[in-house]
């Protein structure tokens, strides 16, 4: 049984298109993260899955059932909202019971479910309080409890941690992960926070401007971003992206940006199709070294602009052959701003994007 | 979900308003059914245009509207400034100020009629004390009677104008006043350079609400003067009422009321355009 | 920061003028109602009453005051209940749901609230005559409901708009229909607004005179304002009785104002300035 599936979803408000041809599938029990900057359409997509918003065209199915015609209450889903949306006039216990009561579950079942959820989330002591007497983290737990008691087929989370302080967010992240392992239910989680996406997601869906840019495991998204947007969005500090031009023929492929040229041996079968045009070369800061590495690399000479000391790491901003680069290195107290250095770029960690698409650079040597 | 509300409004407001317009194009005397109800186009409006009593009524109404709204607005600003301050017992003061608004207009009218009574009235007592000979029969004099209607309306509705202004005051952040104090502005300067300009939308709202309501004055006149003495206090709605319901001249009566309605409608549109447009923008966003 | 003396003095004077100006005229009426016939007709008038309740007895017994009060209670309460029942879903829809032409409905309601009574009086009279609503309480309630709807809808819509949208959505996901979400979640939360709207509607219906005068010609059916306006003595104006009746008609309103001053103020301004 699939967890859920979206096929060719479109959504527009008037003339503004907010979602464009969204197709996505998740297997049962999978943790799917919708990641993207604000306004990319991820929340709208979640609301369409919930049935709170109607799609303009396309189809949503949950489990084996197409739910396009069903109102939210019949979709067998639960949702945790950004502001928690706890009913202020009800106690925690009544909040948890609400969805079950509306569905006319017998009170013995309701009691049992509340007991389970309270134990799981350790909110036993809070059951008789009103939401306004709870701290942010406690509200968050109650909101999750309200979703858990329903035992839905699908959990939806709309940036549920964004209102917590950094420390609480980190610990709730861990709990959420455990919860998912425990319940084994399909979850869809919307966030703009790449750390949440990387740590929680089994499948990350990167979105921008109403389109899906890449779907993949956290590893794949990080190490093989399929386009410059994904490359730049994931990772902190972000990947170095050097804009330039590319020229390709049967013999070789040449990337040029300013006075910086990079030549690769050609791969006969595909290189001619690349032709020439604009291209972007990317490399992650941790793959830019200031000490000679063992692996195959290219070198650039330049000067240090600024050093940020993070304790465990140094973030070094440098200008090399006309290009601004950021390097993440191990601390070296001898380096100073203004020093001349040599930067080493690991060749097998270079990403080349031509026509906004990732090119199989591994093949070039 | 909106349907029941719209149905009510359609049956008991929109349809009657349109029906009135339809009736105003006919000559109808309830007392003389034999005349039938001939269609006379704009005949009634032509007649209204030439009717000296109607002119008088329009002038009286206009005078009433201008005088009462002016006073109410000034008093309203005063009231709002007072009940906006923080002091002990403010809740009680606010309640006290609201009482004239809550009192039925009919009661307020009887009350002022009695206060202005030539023999037993408080006004004469306070002005002239024991000098009974000096007592004035206020409501018997055309000008005084007109003034009395204005006075009663001002007493009754200044607090409502005050509330609208208060709502405007409440959205002005305190920080602005603190900044002005630090800049050395006196109380009067703070009012004139900060409060007043920021209060303009609220004042406009209050002005229009009061204007529209003052156009519809009826209860006061009915109870206090019956339009008299002479036609000194015969406001337009009272004239229309007499024509329609005591004389049974349905066509002409509705003509008067439709004219009032159109005047008010123009004002309402003006209101929606100026103050309401902000709200509409919010709706769209 | 303490205020300079001049500002405090101005405030004290302002408070005194506002309170005295608002209350003195009515207090005079209250005093009058407690006087004896001789005192009322004294020239010059006397200030202090001797505490007689003759006028109250006379108003209640000779002028059937309780009958008028009862009529007013019936008309005002049924208007309030019906108007709120109709206004609540409308306000909810206008505040919550993406609805075509909602801006027009709202501004239309605003305009309807400004109609002069006289322009609809004649045709409404005709309608009521057709359906047998003249000289009945329900016949009066119908136009009252119409006239109080705009304000009630505005007040309630303002309240609904301030409630977080997520709550209604959470309820829908928890298994509620739109209606259930409204009355199980949103309505309890909008209770203060509901209450304010109820009070204002009640006061309107309690005080309304024009339609009551036109549609109720049978003294047994008439409401308080009509009763008080048409109060007649045999030879002279029965000022004492009028004062007593007025005080009784106003007491419930004073009671409401004292208790719910805060809600009334926010409700009255919500229709006007929130925007």
Strand partners of residue A282: A241, A351
Question: For residue A250, what is the DSSP state?
Answer: S
At C152 the three-state DSSP class reads helix
**Contact with chain A for residue C273, Cβ under 8 A:** no
Chosen for mutation from B3, B6, B12 (greatest number of chain C CBs closer than 10 Å) is B12
Which tens digits make up the pLDDT trace of A114-158? 998 898 888 889 999 998 899 888 998 899 899 889 889 999 999
Which residue of C102, C150, C273 is in closest CB contact with B202? C273
Alpha helices in chain B (DSSP H): 3-9, 15-23, 43-50, 52-84, 90-102, 105-115, 122-128, 142-170, 174-182, 187-190, 196-215, 219-224, 236-241, 250-271, 277-284
Task: State the Cα–Cα distance between residues A312 and B183, nearest whole angstrom.
Answer: 50
Is it the case that residue B142 has pLDDT exceeding 60? yes
Mean pLDDT of A33-44: 92
- DSSP secondary structure code for residue A287 in this structure: G
Average of pLDDT values for B67-71?
A: 94
Q: Could you read off the pLDDT of B186-226 as tens digits, one per residue?
A: 778 888 888 888 888 788 878 888 888 888 889 999 988 88
Written as six digits, the tokens of A346 are 């690991």
Q: Does residue C40 or residue A287 have the better pLDDT?
A: A287
pLDDT of residue A213: 92
The per-residue pLDDT for C234 is: 62
Q: Tell me the C-alpha distance between A97 and B54, whole Å.
A: 68
Contact C170 A72 (CB under 8 A): no
pLDDT over 80 at A61, yes or no: yes
Residue C248 vs residues A50, B115, C37, C216, C245: alpha-carbon distances, Å:
57, 18, 19, 21, 5
At A15 the pLDDT is 85
Higher pLDDT, A148 or C104: A148
Q: In what order do the strands lie in the sheet with A2-13?
A: A16-27, A2-13, A57-62, A65-66
Q: Which residues, numbered 167 to 186 in chain B, qualify as contacts with chain C under a Cβ-Cβ cut-off of 8 Å?
A: 167-168, 171, 181
Sorting pLDDT into bands at 50, 70 and 90, what band is B150? Answer: very high
Nearest to C172 among A72, A84, A103 (CB): A72
Of C164, C176, C177, the CB nearest to A83: C164
Report how far residue B101's alpha carbon sits from residue C253's, in angstroms, rounded to the nearest whole number: 10
Tokens 């005591």 -> residue: B246
ipTM: 0.86
| Element of type H or E holding C183 | none
Question: What percent of chain A stands above pLDDT 90?
Answer: 38
pLDDT band, very low/low/confident/very high, at A273 (cuts 50, 70, 90): low
Nearest residue to A301 via CA among A345, A243, A332: A345
CA distance A355 to A339: 36
Token duo for residue B156: 């009754």
For residue C62, give how far its alpha carbon lies from the nearest alpha carbon of chain B (Å). Answer: 19
Per-residue pLDDT band for A192 (boundaries 50, 70, 90) equals: very high
For residue B87, name the pLDDT band (cuts at 50, 70, 90): confident
Name the 3-class secondary structure at A305: strand
Q: What is the length of chain B? A: 285
Task: List B149's β-bridge partners, or say none.
Answer: none
Q: At which residue do the structure tokens 């065209």 appear?
A: A57
pLDDT tens, C45-98? Answer: 777 878 778 788 888 887 788 899 999 999 999 999 999 999 998 888 888 776
User: How far off is chain B from C239, nearest CA to CA, in Å?
Assistant: 7
pLDDT tens readout for residues A303-339: 999 999 888 889 999 998 888 899 998 888 788 888 8
- The answer to whether C and B touch (≥3 CB pairs < 8 Å) is yes
| Buried-state track C50-61, b at ≥16 Cβ within 10 A, e below 16 | eebebbbebbbe
* Structure tokens given for C105: 């409905």
Q: With beta carbons less than 8 A apart as the criterion, state whether A226 and A358 touch.
A: yes
First CA to last CA across chain C, in angstroms?
Answer: 32
Chain B nearest-CA residue for C215? B245
Q: Spell out which residues of chain C touch residue B124, defining contact as CB-CB under 8 Å.
A: 44
Range among A1-10, B26-35, B189-198, B268-277 with highest mean pLDDT value = A1-10
Q: What is the dihedral of CA B56, B57, B62, B67, to 10 degrees?
A: 90
CB contact under 8 A, C250 and B160: no
**Tokens 């900060």, residue located:** B194
**Is C164's CB within 8 Å of A73's CB?**
no
Which has the minimum average pLDDT: A261-270, A325-334, C13-22, C195-204? A261-270
Considering only CB atoms, which residues of chain A are within 8 Å of chain C? 50-52, 71-73, 77-79, 81-85, 87-89, 98-99, 102-103, 146, 150
Comparison of pLDDT for B34 and A22, the residue scoring more = A22
Residue A363 has pLDDT above 60, yes or no: no
Q: What is the pLDDT of residues C128-183, one digit of tens each?
A: 888 988 889 898 999 999 888 888 888 888 888 888 888 888 998 888 888 888 88
**pLDDT recorded at residue B283:** 45
User: Does residue C4 carry a pLDDT above 50?
Assistant: yes
Determine the Cα–Cα distance for residues C228 and C212; give it in Å rounded to an integer.
Answer: 12
- The answer to whether residue B37 scores a pLDDT higher than 80 is no
Return the structure tokens found at A49: 């899955």
Percent of chain B predicted with pLDDT > 90: 20
The pLDDT score that the predictor gives to residue C111 is 74
User: Higher-confidence residue: B88 or C54?
Assistant: B88
pLDDT tens-digit readout, A66-75: 999 888 888 8
C215-256 pLDDT tens trace: 988 888 899 999 888 887 666 778 888 888 899 889 988 988
CA distance C106 to chain A (A): 22
**Nearest chain A residue to C180, by CA:** A102
Task: Give the per-residue pLDDT at A361.
Answer: 58
3-state secondary structure of C228: helix
Q: Which residue has the higher pLDDT, A224 or C110?
A: A224
pLDDT, position A74:
87
Q: What CA–CA distance (Å, rounded) separates A126 from A130?
A: 8
Identify the pLDDT of residue B108.
92
Handedness of CA C90, C93, C94, C95 (dihedral sign): positive
From residue B263, alpha-carbon distances to A10, B216, C115, C164 in Å are 50, 11, 10, 40
Mean pLDDT of chain B: 84
Is the four-CA dihedral A266, A271, A277, A279 of positive or negative sign?
Answer: negative
Match 């605003």 to its residue by tokens.
C110
pLDDT at B41 over 90: no
**pLDDT score of A23 more than 90:** yes
* Confidence (pLDDT) at C39: 79
User: To probe the interface with A, which of C162, C164, C166, C170 has the most A CB atoms within 10 Å?
Assistant: C170
- Going by pLDDT thresholds of 50, 70 and 90, the confidence category of residue C275 is very low
Q: Give residues with Cβ within 8 angstroms of A178, minimum separation 6.
A: none
In the prediction, which pLDDT does C240 show? Answer: 84
The answer to whether residue B281 scores a pLDDT higher than 60 is: no
- Contact: C173, A72; criterion CB under 8 Å: yes
> How far is C188 from chain A, CA to nearest CA, in Å?
7
Backbone φ, ψ for residue C9 (5° rounding): -60, -45
Distance CA A348, CA A351 (A): 8
């Amino acid at each position: 049984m699939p967890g859920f599936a979206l096929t060719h979803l479109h959504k527009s408000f008037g003339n503004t298109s907010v979602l464009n041809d969204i197709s996505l599938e998740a297997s049962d029990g999978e943790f799917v993260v919708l990641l993207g900057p604000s306004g990319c359409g991820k929340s709208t997509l979640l609301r369409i899955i919930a049935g709170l918003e109607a799609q303009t065209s396309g189809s949503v199915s949950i489990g084996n059932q197409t739910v396009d015609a069903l109102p939210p209450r019949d979709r067998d889903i639960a949702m945790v909202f950004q502001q928690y949306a706890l009913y202020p006039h009800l106690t925690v216990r009544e909040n948890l019971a609400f969805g079950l009561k509306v569905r006319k579950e017998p009170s013995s079942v309701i009691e049992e479910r509340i007991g389970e959820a309270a134990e799981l989330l350790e909110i036993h002591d809070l059951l008789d309080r009103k939401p306004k007497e709870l701290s942010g983290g406690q509200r968050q737990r109650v909101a999750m409890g309200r979703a858990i008691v329903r035992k839905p087929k699908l959990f939806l989370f709309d940036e549920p941690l964004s209102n917590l302080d950094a420390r609480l967010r980190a610990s709730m992240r861990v709990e959420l992960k455990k919860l998912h392992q425990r319940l084994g239910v399909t979850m869809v989680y919307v966030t703009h926070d790449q750390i949440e996406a990387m740590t929680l997601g089994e499948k990350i869906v990167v979105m921008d401007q109403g389109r899906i840019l890449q779907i993949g495991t956290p590893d794949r998204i990080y190490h093989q971003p399929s386009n410059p947007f994904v490359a730049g969005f994931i990772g902190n500090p972000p990947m170095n992206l050097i804009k330039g031009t590319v020229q390709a023929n049967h013999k070789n492929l040449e990337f040029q940006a300013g006075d910086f040229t990079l030549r690769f041996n050609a791969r006969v079968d595909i290189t001619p199709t690349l032709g020439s045009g604009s291209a972007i070369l990317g490399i992650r800061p941790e793959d830019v070294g200031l000490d000679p590495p063992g692996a195959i690399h290219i070198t650039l000479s330049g000067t240090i602009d600024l050093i940020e000391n993070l304790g465990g790491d140094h973030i070094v901003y440098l200008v090399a052959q006309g290009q601004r680069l950021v390097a993440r290195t191990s601390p070296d107290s001898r380096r100073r701003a203004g020093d001349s250095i040599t930067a080493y770029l690991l060749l097998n960690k270079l990403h080349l994007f031509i026509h906004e698409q990732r090119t199989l650079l591994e093949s070039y040597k | 979900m909106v349907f029941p509300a719209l149905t009510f409004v359609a049956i008991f407001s929109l349809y009657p308003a349109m029906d009135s317009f339809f009736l105003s194009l006919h000559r109808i005397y309830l007392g003389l059914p034999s005349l039938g109800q001939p269609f006379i186009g704009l005949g009634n409006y032509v007649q209204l245009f030439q009717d000296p009593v109607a002119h008088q009524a329009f002038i009286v109404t206009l005078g009433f509207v201008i005088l009462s709204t002016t006073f109410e607005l000034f008093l309203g600003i005063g009231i709002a400034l007072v009940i906006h301050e923080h002091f002990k017992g403010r809740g009680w003061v606010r309640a006290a100020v609201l009482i004239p608004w809550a009192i039925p207009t009919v009661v307020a009218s009887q009350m002022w009629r009695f206060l202005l009574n030539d023999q037993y009235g408080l006004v004469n007592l306070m002005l002239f004390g024991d000098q009974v000979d000096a007592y004035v029969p206020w409501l018997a004099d055309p000008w005084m009677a007109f003034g009395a209607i204005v006075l009663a309306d001002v007493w009754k509705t200044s607090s409502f104008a005050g509330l609208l202004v208060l709502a405007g005051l409440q959205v002005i952040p305190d920080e602005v006043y603190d900044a002005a104090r630090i800049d050395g502005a006196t109380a009067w300067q703070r009012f004139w350079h900060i409060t007043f300009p920021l209060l303009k939308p609220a004042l406009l709202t209050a002005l229009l609400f009061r204007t529209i309501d003052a156009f519809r004055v009826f209860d006061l006149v009915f109870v206090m003067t019956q339009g008299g003495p002479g036609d000194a206090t015969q406001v337009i709605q009272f004239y229309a009422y007499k024509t329609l319901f005591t004389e049974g001249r349905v066509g002409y009566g509705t003509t008067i009321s439709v004219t009032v309605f159109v005047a008010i409608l123009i004002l309402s549109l003006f209101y929606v355009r100026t103050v309401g447009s902000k709200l509409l923008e919010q709706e769209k966003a | 920061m303490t205020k300079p003396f001049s500002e405090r003095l101005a405030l004290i004077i302002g408070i005194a003028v506002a309170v005295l100006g608002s209350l003195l005229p009515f207090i005079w009426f209250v005093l009058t109602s407690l006087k004896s016939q001789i005192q009322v007709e004294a020239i010059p008038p006397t200030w202090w009453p001797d505490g007689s309740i003759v006028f109250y007895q006379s108003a209640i017994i000779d002028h059937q005051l309780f009958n008028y009060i009862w009529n007013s209670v019936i008309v005002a309460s049924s208007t309030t209940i019906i108007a709120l029942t109709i206004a609540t879903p409308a306000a909810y829809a206008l505040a919550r749901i993406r609805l075509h032409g909602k801006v027009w409905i709202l501004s239309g309601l605003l305009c309807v609230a400004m109609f002069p009574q006289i322009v609809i009086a004649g045709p409404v009279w005709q309608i009521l005559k057709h359906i047998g609503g003249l000289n009945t309480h329900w016949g009066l309630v119908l136009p009252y409901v119409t006239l109080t709807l705009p304000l009630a809808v505005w007040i309630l819509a303002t309240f609904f708009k301030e409630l977080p949208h997520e709550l209604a959505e959470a309820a829908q996901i928890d298994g509620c229909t739109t209606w259930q979400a409204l009355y199980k979640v949103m309505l309890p939360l909008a209770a203060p607004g509901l209450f304010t709207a109820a009070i204002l509607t009640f006061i309107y219906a309690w005080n309304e005179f024009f339609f009551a005068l036109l549609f109720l010609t049978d003294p047994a059916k008439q409401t308080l304002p009509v009763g008080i306006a048409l109060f007649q003595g045999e030879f002279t104006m029965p000022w004492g009785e009028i004062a007593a009746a007025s005080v009784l008609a106003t007491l419930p309103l004073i009671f409401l104002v004292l208790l719910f001053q805060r809600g009334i103020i926010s409700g009255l301004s919500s229709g006007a300035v929130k925007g």
